Amino acid sequence: MSNQEKGFPISHIVGFLLSITFTVVALLVALKTDLPKTTIMFVIGGLAVLQAGLQLIMFMHLNEGKDNYSKIIHTVYAIFMAVVIVIGSIWVVTAGHSIH
């Protein structure tokens, strides 16, 4: 921690401005462009992931502290499993002829 306790919360303000920017860009891409739907989904999905990473690192200080490894490994593992659950479930449930 580079003692940022004194003075100005500069990293927070940068983080805030970035998050607003990401949101506005996502909005513009989604509502004001005529790109194909899948392209839009990839762009705004990517922006959401960027924004989540930003919150994790700039606000939640994921990599702060002495034993940050266990924190990071565990969180990354959970995120990986979250992706497996979402994509896996949707694939499994909609792939076969069972869907009606």
Partner 1 sequence: MDIKWDQLLVSGDPLILGSQIAIVLTMVGVVAALSYFKKWKWLWNGWLTSVDHKRIGIMYIIMGVLMFFRGGVDGLMMKAQTAVPENTFLDAQHYNEVFTTHGVIMILFMAMPMLIGIMNIVIPLQIGARDVAFPQLNLLSFWLTFAGAMLFNVSFVIGGSPDAGWTSYFPLAGKEFTPGVGNNYYMIALQIAGIGTLMTGINFIVTILKMRTKGMTLMRMPMFTWTSLITSLIIVIAFPIFTVTLLLGMMDRLYGTHFFTVSGGGLDMLWSNLFWLWGHPEVYIVILPAFGIYSEIIATFTKKRLFGYGSMVISIVLISALSMLVWVHHFYTMGVGPAVNTVFSITTMMISIPTGVKMFNWLFTMRKGRIEFTAPMMWALAFIPTFLIGGVTGVMLAMAAADFQYHNTLFLVAHFHYTLIPGVVYAVFAALYYWWPKVFGFKLSEKIGKWHFWLFNIGFNLTFFPMFFLGLQGAVRRSYTYSEESGFQPLFLLSGVGALILAAGFAALCYNIYWSIRHAERTTANDPWGNARTLEWATATPVPHYNFATLPEVDSLDAYWEMKKNNKGFTLDKNQIKPIHMPGNSGLPAIMGGIFLVFGFFLVFEWHLLAAIVGIGIIAGLIMRSFESNDGYHVPVDEIVKHERTWRGESKWKAK
Partner 2 sequence: MEGKINTSAPIEYQSEQSKLNILGFWVFLAAEIILFATLFSVFGVLKDRTAGGPAGSEIFEIKDVIIQTLLLLTSSFTAGIVIFEMRRGNRRGLIIWLVITLLFGLGFLSMEINEFMHYYHEGATMQTSAFLSSLFVLLGTHGAHVTLGTGWAILIIIQLLTKGINPTTAGKMHIWSLYWHFLDVIWIFIFTFVYLAGVL
Give the residues lining the site for partner 2 (CB under 8 A).
1, 4-6, 9, 12-13, 15-16, 19-20, 23, 26-27, 30-31, 37, 40-41, 44-45, 47-48, 51-52, 55-56, 58-60, 65, 67, 70-71, 74-75, 77-79, 81-83, 85-86, 88-90, 93-94
Q: CA dist 18 to 1, 44, 55, 81, Å?
A: 21, 15, 10, 27
**DSSP three-state, residue 30:** helix
Asked if residue 85 binds partner 1 (CB under 8 A), the reply is: yes
Tokens of 19: 């998050």
Is residue 67 involved in binding partner 1 (CB under 8 A)? Answer: yes
Number of residues that bind partner 1 (CB under 8 A): 18
